[in-house]
Amino acid sequence: MTIKELSGIAKRESYVLAALSGEKRKFALENIAQEIKRNAEEIFAANDEDLKRAEEAGLPMPVIKRLAFKEEKLAETLNEISALINLPDPVGEVTLHRELAEGLILKRVTCPIGVIGAIFESRPDALVQIACLCIKSGNCVILKGGSEAASTNKALFKAIHTAALAAGLPENCLILAESREDVKSLLSCAGNVDLLLPRGSNEFVRYIMENTTIPVIGHSEGLCSIYIDEEYDPEIALRVVLDAKTQYVAVCNALDTLLIHKNAAPAIFPKIAEMFKEAKVELRAQEALLKYADCVKAREEDFDTEFLDYILAVKQVESLEEAIEHINSHSSHHTDGIITKNPENAEKFMNEVDSAGVYLNCSTRFADGNRYGFGAEVGISTGKIHARGPVGLSGLVTYKYKLYGNGDTVGQFAVGEKKYTHKDLD
Amino acid sequence: MTIKELSGIAKRESYVLAALSGEKRKFALENIAQEIKRNAEEIFAANDEDLKRAEEAGLPMPVIKRLAFKEEKLAETLNEISALINLPDPVGEVTLHRELAEGLILKRVTCPIGVIGAIFESRPDALVQIACLCIKSGNCVILKGGSEAASTNKALFKAIHTAALAAGLPENCLILAESREDVKSLLSCAGNVDLLLPRGSNEFVRYIMENTTIPVIGHSEGLCSIYIDEEYDPEIALRVVLDAKTQYVAVCNALDTLLIHKNAAPAIFPKIAEMFKEAKVELRAQEALLKYADCVKAREEDFDTEFLDYILAVKQVESLEEAIEHINSHSSHHTDGIITKNPENAEKFMNEVDSAGVYLNCSTRFADGNRYGFGAEVGISTGKIHARGPVGLSGLVTYKYKLYGNGDTVGQFAVGEKKYTHKDLD
């Protein structure tokens, strides 16, 4: 069957899945954890195939590292599923309860979105995370992972799908898409697919947006900045900036741009330069800073670059306002922080910087669904619509309005026979 | 200036608007109400021009009626603004407050979306509603109304803009787009415009979606259904169905399809046919029903048609399940209701029908922001992402995560020096 036909079946079965109880979805997740454990050897063997292919193809070390799915990743994955099982059911939450008029009661209740199309990179654990988050939130999902992880994904999918079916979930609540052509087909499934979650480069996410009418929540680049304000704690500044840049360089919440107030620069920049020299990070500094330390002169494009590497662009600014303006026009609206001892400046920065995460005196690396306590994430949204920042369960539900009456008509209100009370209940 | 240039300025000024206090936005709305009142004569004169042009062009009566902006509409509009002023500020609401670890505090806080592009039909009061909702929620807005209302829109916009500026709002927080070409330009303003709100036909909304990468919340057709279940109160059934079909036929929440359980049909359908004969509504009934009353035989496409007229398609179904399935595959997921005395059937219907509004024993005509107590609406979303059903203030905000630390690094957690507590506060 084609992805289009499959998505039509998934759409119909999404109503069945949405009607299942939270208990049943919980049971399915327990079953999935067990089945993955039971099939560990098979999954490891499949992963060996992927790793062998990747080495033969000469893929870079960081890609190969992310591709690996062994004992440690398995344990992590099982931990994540068990944390997810223990989170409250995101479906059926009443978020508004209002008497519109006597005997006419409105409830806004969370419900699954329907069918989700997820396109992600070559980390096989991403497949497990996304599938489990979708089941927990009552959504069908079409999964397309990176081709480098094809064998591992297939083995993981088999275990997950078998366990879900055995738990009584509908057959097409989980669909594995395997070819690049499937991605193209997926884009034309408006009406069947309710939401696309692409993860990848800006170009890739933009390509998806340009070629579909399905709503898209994109996980793309994170050009993250930290601004060191005029009054700051140097110990905190050094510690946080080092962690943000070097704790894991290849990820979206790592630091790319450092802004320093002109009155802070003379004292702190030499120390920063020394610290990063030791950490083998290349600093690309704006001209005004070169007199304080020996480093490469930054080009303009460095301030629009997500490095994903041991490189950091540094700029001196005249004021808090200039820092905010720089970030609003150069950052990718992912996560940006301020180091300051001045609480007013902190609030101004956090209110006026237009990013999903605005941080005070801590590392940008905290931008993550697990660290926020969301029970993993399907991605980190740099868009503003529906879900922003780490997208966990609350980003995977929508709501419906339930109105309970007893023969109520709008005509009664039009002629003044009845009156709206608009009284919130509970 | 072109719309693209203007949208760039609006983007920059959106940060200024977002930083203004709720008090200041409230004051602007008070000023706007006064300025519209003060300019009433000028606005009425402009409306006369539009009405004259519409009559000369031979536009249909319902269009001309909606175009009129006189004393009564003015009073309604001023009432709506005053209701909006009294609603709580949607900006700055803390929706999550969590200790991630000792001394590391996460807050999720609502904030404006940024710049909104609204494209709407020829009701001049829509311009006032949308502009005021956007100001209340701290968003800049580019407004493009129907060309039939061009003169009235211009006069209203002048009053609103003057009042907003006098209240200290930034100059380009409100922009009036006047030509059809402006709509095309608006679609290419991704990066400056954060959200598009088109209102119109399905085709129009689809055209917008196909030609932009900006997220779209569409207000399009409402193909609404009511299902009369096996056990039902005939008095309620007749009253609700009549109101849903005839209280105002030209709107999206009016009834288009009536489904009747086969065991209910023999008793209720003849009464329905008689009632609608009197109300001059043409019934198009499925063959199985023709033996109970004299009416036109429905064609298949009648069950996929939003009539916006005194026409109703009627179908007999075998079961509650068939009714749910029919609605999920034929309705536009706007608002659908059930008439039943059986509470289990009611809950099954309301849980499994995948529509923004699911109603028990009341008229579909209640689907409306004012009636829900939202302080007007920018539209009724038939999509599921971000906002569903009547879109009021809560659909016009997004959120950001604020993280407050004191030198916290991810590295401390990686080496086990610190532990996540994930404790919800307040």
Residue A425 lies in a domain: no
Q: Does one domain contain both B212 and B230? A: no
Q: Does one domain contain both B190 and B207? A: yes
Q: What are phi and psi of B408, to 5 degrees?
A: -70, 135
- If you average pLDDT over residues B259-263, what whole number do you get? 98
Residue in B361, B366, B420 closest to A371 by CB:
B420
- What is the Cβ-side half-sphere exposure of residue B181, based on CA atoms within 13 angstroms? 3
Q: Does one domain contain both B196 and B255? A: no
Q: Does one domain contain both A79 and A123? A: yes
Which chain A residue's Cα is nearest to B339?
Answer: A407
Contact B188, B103 (CB under 8 A): no
Q: Does one domain contain both A146 and A263? A: no
pLDDT at site A123? 87
Last residue of a domain, one of B311, B345, B366: B366
Q: What is the mean pLDDT of chain A?
A: 95
Contact B291, B350 (CB under 8 A): no
Q: Within the 336-365 window of chain B, which residues sit less than 8 Å (CB to CB) from chain A?
A: 348, 350-352, 354-363, 365
Residue A417 lies in a domain: no
Residue in A215, A324, A411 closest to B383 by CB:
A215
pLDDT at site B66? 87
pLDDT at B219 over 90: no
Q: Does one domain contain both A256 and A201? A: no
The contacts of residue B343 (CB under 8 Å, 6+ apart) are: none
Q: Within the 227-246 window of chain B, which residues sit less than 8 Å (CB to CB) from chain A?
A: 233, 235-236, 239-240, 242-244
| Domain of B362, in residue numbers | 224-366
The answer to whether the Cβ–Cβ distance between B356 and A401 falls below 8 Å is yes
Chain A partners within 8 Å of B250 (Cβ): none
Residue B413 lies in a domain: no
CATH number at residue B281: 3.40.309.10
Q: How far is B253 from chain A (nearest CA, A)?
A: 11
Torsion of CA B182, B184, B187, B192, to 10 degrees: -30
Pick among A401, A412, A423, A425 to test the B interface (most B CBs inside 10 A): A401
Contact A229, A265 (CB under 8 A): no
CA distance B393 to B199: 17
**Burial B369-408, CB ≥16 within 10 A → b, else e:** bbbbbbbbbbbbbbbbbbbbbbbbbebbbbbbbbbbbebb
CA distance B402 to B108: 6
pLDDT at site A376? 81
CA distance B141 to B169: 12
Residue B415 lies in a domain: no
Which chain B residue's Cα is nearest to A360?
Answer: B404
Residue A420 lies in a domain: no
The answer to whether the Cβ–Cβ distance between B388 and A365 falls below 8 Å is no
pLDDT tens per residue across span B294-307: 999 999 999 999 99
pLDDT at site B317? 98
pLDDT tens per residue across span A14-73: 999 999 999 999 999 999 999 999 999 999 999 999 999 999 999 988 789 889 999 999
Q: Does one domain contain both B202 and B247? A: no
Whether residue B206 lies within 8 A of chain A, CB to CB, comes out as yes
Number of neighbours of residue A95 by Cβ within 10 angstroms = 10
Q: Does one domain contain both A272 and A179? A: no
Residue A397: strand pairing partners: A112
pLDDT tens per residue across span B63-121: 888 899 999 999 999 999 999 999 999 999 999 999 999 999 999 999 999 999 999 98
Whether residue A97 lies within 8 A of chain B, CB to CB, comes out as no
Q: Does one domain contain both B94 and B61? A: yes
pLDDT at site B61? 86
Whether residue A39 lies within 8 A of chain B, CB to CB, comes out as no
CATH number at residue B135: 3.40.605.10
pLDDT tens per residue across span A35-45: 999 999 999 99
Q: How far is B7 from chain A (nearest CA, A)?
A: 14
pLDDT tens per residue across span A301-318: 999 999 999 999 999 999
Tokens (6 digits) for A325: 């303006």
CA distance B119 to B127: 9
Residue B233 lies in a domain: yes
Chain B partners within 8 Å of A242 (Cβ): 409
CA A347 vs. chain centroid, Å, equals 25
Q: Indicate the helix (H) or strand (E) that contains B49.
A: helix B40-56
Q: How confident is the model at residue B174 (pLDDT cuts 50, 70, 90)?
A: very high
The SS3 assignment for B175 reads strand
The SS3 assignment for B321 reads helix
Q: Within the 153-192 window of chain A, which residues sit less than 8 Å (CB to CB) from chain B?
A: none
CA distance A346 to B166: 30
Contact B362, A407 (CB under 8 A): yes
E strand segments, A113-172:
115-119, 140-144
Q: Does one domain contain both A343 and A384? A: no
Chain A partners within 8 Å of B358 (Cβ): 400-403
Chain A partners within 8 Å of B348 (Cβ): 19
DSSP state of B149: G
pLDDT at B230 over 90: yes
pLDDT at site B140? 98
Which chain B residue's Cα is nearest to A209?
Answer: B213
- Name the percent of chain B lying above pLDDT 70: 100
Contact A156, A188 (CB under 8 A): no
Tokens (6 digits) for A355: 């990013």
The answer to whether the Cβ–Cβ distance between B373 and A209 falls below 8 Å is no
pLDDT at site B192? 96
Q: How far is A53 from chain B (nearest CA, A)?
A: 31
A vs B, Cβ pairs < 8 A, gives 235
Contact B261, B267 (CB under 8 A): no
Whether residue B49 lies within 8 A of chain A, CB to CB, comes out as no
The answer to whether the Cβ–Cβ distance between A356 and B215 falls below 8 Å is no
Residue A409 lies in a domain: no
Torsion of CA A243, A244, A249, A254, to 10 degrees: 160
The SS3 assignment for B284 reads strand
The answer to whether the Cβ–Cβ distance between B194 and A385 falls below 8 Å is yes
Chain A partners within 8 Å of B372 (Cβ): 98, 100, 106, 401
Chain B partners within 8 Å of A243 (Cβ): 409-411
Q: For residue A288, with 0-12 CB atoms within 10 Å meaning exposed, 13-18 middle and 19 or more buried, which class applies?
A: middle
Whether residue A76 lies within 8 A of chain B, CB to CB, comes out as no
Residue type, A31: N
Residue type, B62: P
Given the structure tokens 């499934």, which residue do they identify? A189
Residue B426 lies in a domain: no
pLDDT at B203 over 90: no
Chain B partners within 8 Å of A206 (Cβ): 213
Q: How far is B151 from chain A (nearest CA, A)?
A: 30
Q: Does one domain contain both B172 and B247? A: no
Given the structure tokens 């440690």, which residue do they identify? A72
Give the strands of the sheet with B140-144, arranged side by side. Answer: B174-176, B140-144, B115-119, B195-198
Torsion region of A407: left, alpha or beta (phi above 0 gives left; psi -120 to 50 gives alpha): left
pLDDT tens per residue across span A237-254: 999 999 999 999 988 999
Contact A339, A231 (CB under 8 A): no
pLDDT at site B426? 83
pLDDT at site B121? 83
Whether residue A247 lies within 8 A of chain B, CB to CB, comes out as yes
pLDDT tens per residue across span A263-279: 999 999 999 999 999 99
Domain count, chain A: 2
E strand segments, A299-422:
311-317, 335-339, 357-362, 379-381, 389-391, 397-408
Pick among A385, A412, A420, A423 to test the B interface (most B CBs inside 10 A): A385
- If you average pLDDT over residues B201-207, what whole number do you get? 88
Pick among B372, B397, B423 to test the A interface (most A CBs inside 10 A): B372
pLDDT at site B45? 98
The answer to whether the Cβ–Cβ distance between A366 and B411 falls below 8 Å is no
Q: Which portions of chain A are predicted below pLDDT 50?
A: none
Whether residue B100 lies within 8 A of chain A, CB to CB, comes out as yes
The answer to whether the Cβ–Cβ distance between B398 and A414 falls below 8 Å is no
Number of neighbours of residue B31 by Cβ within 10 angstroms = 20
CA-CA distances (angstroms) from residue A122 to A55, A67, A147, B359?
14, 6, 7, 45
User: Nearest to residue B168, comparing CAs of B3, B12, B10, B32?
Assistant: B32
Q: How far is A48 from chain B (nearest CA, A)?
A: 27
Residue in B104, B247, B405 closest to A414 by CB:
B247
Chain B partners within 8 Å of A403 (Cβ): 357-360, 362, 366
Q: Does one domain contain both A237 and A209? A: no
